Each structure stands twice: as structure tokens, then as C-alpha cells.
Structure 1
Amino acid sequence: MFIAGLGVMLGALWSVPSHAAGATVTGAGSVTRGVLAVDTDLTPGVTIDLVRRSMTLSAGEKRHLRGRLEATSTTTGIVGLTQRIRCLNASGATVPVVAASARNHEGSDTTTYATPGHLPLYADLLFTAPAAGTYTCVLQGTAYSSLPGSYHLTAVASNTWLESDDTDRSGARWWQNPACESDDSAGACTYLGGGAARPDAWVFYDDGTPVYKWQAHPDAVSVSAQANLELTTCYQGTASCAASMEVYPRGKNAVVDARFELVQLDATGHACRTNSVTARRTITDDAHHAVGYSFLTDVPIDPACGTRTFLLRIYVKHVSGQTVKIDGIQSGATSLTNGIAFNNFN
């Protein structure tokens, strides 16, 4: 009973560090956390603003924002849940890109979450001010379902929050993969699996994303990187995949291997030093969508390589089960799979 739309599910697949308000993080200075003060109902079909942060920035100034939405449900049925981080200019217009993550809440009786019945979602955004001015960034939540009757999700106070840097993330870089609409009626998405799907892919590298070679800042003492990779299972009858990619009935689930890499290049443009982290992920058809998080922190810049140039990419290999879709940009602005590289100055 999954509802079509931006209902991408988020699994707790890698450890997710969170920084307390005012804490010092390498290269970033202090971080401010705004917390949801009271439990807030998410009625299906209505997008709710949960936490807001206003910042006055110079043109080109950068901030890393991380949002967390923890939700409970009043029904044992499946209800889609999406969170977004959306930044607005002084006129109230959205400044692209919008960062999003989502997952089906599998019901109030679900025991597979860290806290039974409590589904946590995370999203990350590197916001760059297009012009000098004041911007307001908002953590939003949306529930959606085709279930009959009356029910809702609830964003949990204190455990739902929006963090943002207090100082510029000079030289940081944002990656996002190509357009991939929720229903993929145009067949534009990358699929992994058997049959017509690919067996594997390099996200941000051979999936249609222009390959970008990032230059670490001359004063950086090290670099860090992270990536959010969102996948969707393509069971028969889903509204979230091209029909040709729907091979098995619901309940088959999917297993994939993922390897996140930050590669320092040599003067010839070839790999000199590769830093990576791996994970095997199981994506259930009930969850239907899942986002995995990977982090590489305080990566040394090797002077022997002769450059301060890096590639960021994710290798994804289908292992078994359902074909999976690699989710991308929806509606021209909403990013579901993305990466960030940071300079560390201390």
C-alpha cells in the first residue's frame, strides 16, 4: 500500500553522527541546532514546516545543513514519509537545491527501528547563497498514503531538529546525480539488477553526472566527505519504477553492496590515493525506498600525489533480489542522492 510520490525510505544503514548545538566540528566551527518544541501531527497530503533557521550571508557563502525527522504513526498500516530541507530568499522563493529523504513508515507496531514505532529520517544540504541577503532554511515533513480511514504521523519533539553551520564552509562542493522522477515514466533513471538493468554503476561518475574534479583549498590540512544514496525497490505493480524493470512480485526485497570513495589524483589525472568505506544494504519492499549514509572524515592530503585534486563517487553493485532504482533529482530541484566534500582548516 505504498503511495507514489517522494516516499523514499530511509534505512539506518550506516552510523549517523549528530553534532550538538554549539559543538565544534573539524573545519566547520560551531553548529547551531534548532529543535522541534512540541509533537506535531503530519496529516497525509499536507506539508508541514517543523524547524526554521534564518541566516544572513554574503554572496557565495556556504552552510552545511543537516535535518532529522523522527516520526510515530497512529496506524499499523504503511504510510509514506518525506522530509525536506528547503531554503528561501527574502521574497519567499525557494533557492535550489532542495535536499530530501523519505521512507515508508511501516506502522505503529514496527519493531525493526532502533526505537519500536519511531522512524528517523536524515537529510543533508550544502547551501550556497546566490547573492548577499537573508535566507530562511526550513525542515519540512510530509505524510502520504492511500490507506482508508483516519490516521496521521507525528513528528516527535526534541528528536526532530535542523542543524546548520555558523560560519562559512569555504571551498566545499556539492554533488547530485541526474534527473530521476518518482514514477520514471520517461525511463531516465539508472537501474541495477538482472534483465534490462545494469549489474552495477558509479554514482557521480558514469551515471550521466558530469565528472567533477574537486580542488582542496590550499590552506586545508585535510578533507572530509559524505554521501547520501537513495535506492528504490522495483517490485511488480509499483508506481515508482519503469514497468520494464519490475521483475518480481512484492516481497522479494533487494541486497546491494555500496562503496563510497574519495580519490586523490596524481598529476596525470589517475588515482594516487583512494579512501573508501563499504556497506552491504538490504532494502525491503515494505520500506520500498532506503537511503544509506557514508562518511570519510579527516582524510590526509598526500603531498606525494603532486595535486590537491579529488574525485568523489559511489560504486553500487546489485547482489540479489529486486531490481533497484537509484533515485535522483525530482521536479527539477529536489535531490535524493547527493554528496559533499569539505575542507578542514584545523
Structure 2
Amino acid sequence: MNTGRVAGRAFTACLVAMAVAVVALWPAAPRAQAAGVAAAPAGAGGTTRTALAVDTVIPRGVTVDLVRRTMTLAEGEKRHLRARLEATSTTTGIVGLTQRIRCLDASGSTVPVVAASARNHEGSDTLTYATPGHLPLFADLLFTAPAAGAYTCVLQGTAYSSLTGSYHLTAVAAGTWLEVDDTDQVGAGWWQNPACESADPTGACTYVGSGPARRDAWVFYDDGTPSRKWEAHPDAVSVSAQANLELTTCYHGTASCAEAMQSHPRGRNAVVDARFEFIQLGTTGHACRTHSTTARRTVTDDAHHAVGYSRLTGIPVDPACGTRNFLLRVYVKHVSGQTVKVDGVQSGVTSLTNGLAVNHFA
């Protein structure tokens, strides 16, 4: 056993989530890399994928612009952006990684919302990733232009750790990309859960687990998210929906959860069941057609943060229901191990847990 590695992991992990809250405030690094463009068919109107052209170093404590895309949009025009950041590490210790999609207006100001996801890179010798040592992260954003004009959307990466010595993460070319719809996503809907800062000093976050935590929760439904229904477009023949659910383990000593929610020593890990539901409502406001997908998820204390991705596609809009209204929610139930925090909006603009619904017209 590499005792230096274990000690480094234990010391680093309690600091990792703090950078998620700060990252939206840091300026973009000046070392943006050139990117290649390739078309990728997906959805009505298609998408354009812009891939990172060369491997790009992400030093600790620095936010690096990786891929960017500029669009000229009409007021209210919508685009679904999806990003993938694939990272390797030069150390066997744990290094935190946050990716975000941030869109800027012509003046260079950030347009809310910023979409983010985070997870610890568990080391260059990690064998649990699909490609050993290569950690992939995804994020999604529904961008709505607040006014007519040009907007530049940027995929950024940030590394952070308390490890000593010289090390860095590297964004891998081709495996790191930003994908954007080519046409307006007319009538698309966006969900995000309430404010939940990294250390949760005010106790605003939703927790699922043991002790004082809830045993289960409905994200976007009974977690303080404002109640809302989404109406499919009158001309839509089908719809699709997805949800990105970011969870953080609350082991003893972490700086990422309220102290009262820290039930077990580090190393216990967490297991949760999640069920994503997209429900077409009837005329009484109750469920008429329920579409769902389930998954059991393990979040390790080494990873500390983990985002789960759920998607339901090609759902027909049933006229027999009498309405075109839908409800989107995620049921989360604690199974064993650590209490987990459901990550929410940080620093007022950065969304870590979110949902998206789109119309299909053909």
C-alpha cells in the first residue's frame, strides 16, 4: 500500500468541494487552446461539436478555458449545450476537478446560469474509470439569450488540491468537447434546485441519509424548488427530458457538508437509489402517463462528488391525457453508508443539479 497516497487522499478530500463554490467567480485563464470543429448528428436541427485540439494542462488553483463557441442569437432564443471534460493526472493522489459551461455576452459579462459538475480525480493509477486514469465529466446547460446579440460560451476546467509537490491535471484532446444545438430549442424547459453552498453554513441544502438527514427526497419537487409544470409545444409530436444529479458524501471532517450531517468516518462510502420521472399530467393535475428510469449509485469518499445522468427520449405526447403539461422530478433514497448532500446552486449562479426538457417536431 502506498501510505503517502492514502495520507494525501485523506488530507485533500475535505477541501475539494470548496472550489466548486469559488470557481464561478474566478476569471478565465489566458491559456485557451485552439479547437477543431466537427459536426455531430443529434436531435432536430443537429448539433455542432467543438473538440479540444491539443492536450491542455490544468494547473492546481487555476481556471483554464478549454473550448469556446460564439453564437449570434435573437432575444429569447435557446440552445442546449453539453460538455465533456476528460482528464488525466500526473499524481496518484486525489485532485479535485470542476468543469463548467459559462456563457458571456458581448461585454464579457457572465450570463446566468452557469452549469457545472465536479468530482475528485482519484489518481493516475485509478482502474475504476472506463479508461484507466481517465476521468470523464459531463455538464448540460439550457442557454436562453436575454437579448439579441453575440454570445460566447466556454468550457472551463479547474483543478484544486492541498497535496504538496508538483503535479497537474490534463484535459485530453478529442475526449474534451463542447456541443451546441444548431437551431433554437423552441419551448425547452430548465430546472435547477435551490441554493446550496459548498460548506452549507446556513443549513440550506437537502441531505439524504442517517441521523438528522432525510431518508429520501424528491429533487425539483419537495426540496424547496419552486413548483412548476412544463407545457409541451402545441406542435410537438414527442418530448425528451434529462436530469443531472450531483451528490457529495458527508464523512467526518469534510468541509463540504454541515457538521451535523457527518455521520461516519471517511471510507464508508454511500449507496443511493435514484428514480428519474417525467410525468404527463391529466386535467385534474394528477399523473396521467408516468415515464421513469432507475439506477443504484455508489459514491465513494475518494470521489467525494459524483454526478449521475438520467435521460428519457422520444416520449409521445398523449392526447388522451387532456393536457400537454409535464412534471419533472428525481426521487433519491438512501440505501447505506454516508449521508449525501444534494448539491444545488452555488454563488447565486452556478447550478450543479439540473433538469432539461425539449420538444421534438418531427
The offset of 1:186, in angstroms, is 1.0
The offset of 1:30, in angstroms, is 1.6
User: Is 1:319 the counterpart of 2:330 in the alignment?
Assistant: no
Give the equivalent residue in structure 2 for 1:17. Answer: none
Which of 43, 61, 76 is matched with 1:60 structurally?
A: 76
Q: How does 1:266-305 map to 2 (within 5 A)?
A: 266-305=282-321
**What's the CA shift string for 1:148-182, capped at 9, x where partnerless?**
11100000011100000010000000000000001
Aligned residues between the structures: 334
Give the equivalent residue in structure 1 for 2:48. Answer: 32
How far apart in 1 are the matches of 2:324 and 2:341? 33
For residue 238 of structure 1, give the secondary structure of its aligned residue in structure 2.
Answer: coil
How far apart in 2 are the matches of 1:88 and 1:147? 33
Which of 155, 169, 187 is matched with 1:139 structurally?
A: 155
For residue 22 of structure 1, give the secondary structure of its aligned residue in structure 2.
Answer: strand
The offset of 1:22, in angstroms, is 2.8
User: Is 1:240 the counterpart of 2:234 in the alignment?
Assistant: no
**What's the CA shift string for 1:199-224, capped at 9, x where partnerless?**
00000000000111100000000000
The offset of 1:24, in angstroms, is 3.3
Give the equivalent residue in structure 2 for 1:261. Answer: 277
TM-score normalised according to structure 2 size: 0.91
User: Is 1:23 the counterpart of 2:52 in the alignment?
Assistant: no
Give the counterpart letter for 1:142 in structure 2. Answer: T
How far apart in 1 are the matches of 2:199 and 2:303? 17
Give the counterpart letter for 1:124 in structure 2. Answer: D
Which of 197, 211, 216 is matched with 2:227 structurally?
A: 211
User: Is 1:93 the counterpart of 2:109 in the alignment?
Assistant: yes
Asked whether the equivalents of residues 215 and 333 of structure 2 are also in contact (C-alpha less than 8 Å), the reply is yes
How far apart in 1 are the matches of 2:119 and 2:20? 5
For structure 1, which runs of at least 5 residues remain unmatched after alignment? 9-19
**What's the CA shift string for 1:4-31, capped at 9, x where partnerless?**
41459xxxxxxxxxxx9433333x3121
Give the counterpart letter for 1:338 in structure 2. Answer: N
Give the counterpart letter for 1:282 in structure 2. Answer: T
Which of 243, 251, 258 is matched with 1:227 structurally?
A: 243
Which of 76, 81, 97 is matched with 2:92 structurally?
A: 76
Give the counterpart letter for 2:194 in structure 1. Answer: P
How far apart in 2 are the matches of 1:261 and 1:182? 27
How far apart in 1 are the matches of 2:85 and 2:41? 23
For residue 268 of structure 1, give the secondary structure of its aligned residue in structure 2.
Answer: coil
For residue 125 of structure 1, give the secondary structure of its aligned residue in structure 2.
Answer: strand
For residue 246 of structure 2, give the secondary structure of its aligned residue in structure 1.
Answer: strand
The offset of 1:332, in angstroms, is 0.2
**What's the CA shift string for 1:192-244, capped at 9, x where partnerless?**
01110000000000000011110000000000000000000000000000000
How far apart in 1 are the matches of 2:40 and 2:208? 40
Asked whether the equivalents of residues 195 and 205 of structure 2 are also in contact (C-alpha less than 8 Å), the reply is yes
For residue 304 of structure 1, give the secondary structure of its aligned residue in structure 2.
Answer: helix
What percent of counterpart residues are identical?
78
Q: CA RMSD in A?
A: 1.1
- Say which structure, 1 or 2, has more relative contact order (CA 8 Å, 6+ apart): 1
> Is the helix fraction higher in 1 or 2?
2
Give the equivalent residue in structure 2 for 1:129. Answer: 145
The offset of 1:300, in angstroms, is 0.9
Asked whether the equivalents of residues 21 and 163 of structure 1 are also in contact (C-alpha less than 8 Å), the reply is no
Give the equivalent residue in structure 2 for 1:331. Answer: 347
For residue 153 of structure 1, give the secondary structure of its aligned residue in structure 2.
Answer: strand
For residue 39 of structure 2, give the secondary structure of its aligned residue in structure 1.
Answer: coil
For residue 25 of structure 1, give the secondary structure of its aligned residue in structure 2.
Answer: coil
How far apart in 1 are the matches of 2:325 and 2:334? 30
Give the counterpart letter for 1:99 in structure 2. Answer: A
For structure 2, which runs of at least 5 residues remain unmatched after alignment? 1-11, 22-36
Give the equivalent residue in structure 2 for 1:44. Answer: 60
